[in-house]
Structure 1
């Protein structure tokens, strides 16, 4: 039975060693990236009520008419 995880782990180890030279340098790099402060973005502010996307007040329904539509003039 072939160990698929073993070959993948070996490939990862080979790439890490090729790029960083040792596991210790790679782990130190990870710690440095994790320890850098996060950039904090300002909090989102809720829009004021009554903007142009506010829901319109419900209107009364007009009854359907059975009259013919107006004829075009001309």
Structure 2
């Protein structure tokens, strides 16, 4: 796969990941944390704010991986 195409696909995937992740995290926060205290809110948003990095790292590693040599 050409490098430019991989980077385009990866960029679209990253944008989609951030949008979907933000919506899901917001839905979970509204549904589950409405009666929780500030410490629970802090922990949830700290955890959920860092959790999206794991799938993003996978996408970025895939984007920058060298193409396999063809024999």
Q: Considering the TM-score relative to the shorter chain, is it more than 0.5?
A: no
* TM-score, structure 1 normalization: 0.28
Q: TM-score, normalised by structure 2?
A: 0.29
Give the structure with higher Rg (CA).
1
Q: Which has the higher helix share?
A: 2
Which protein, 1 or 2, shows the higher relative CO under an 8 Å CA cutoff with sep ≥ 6? 2
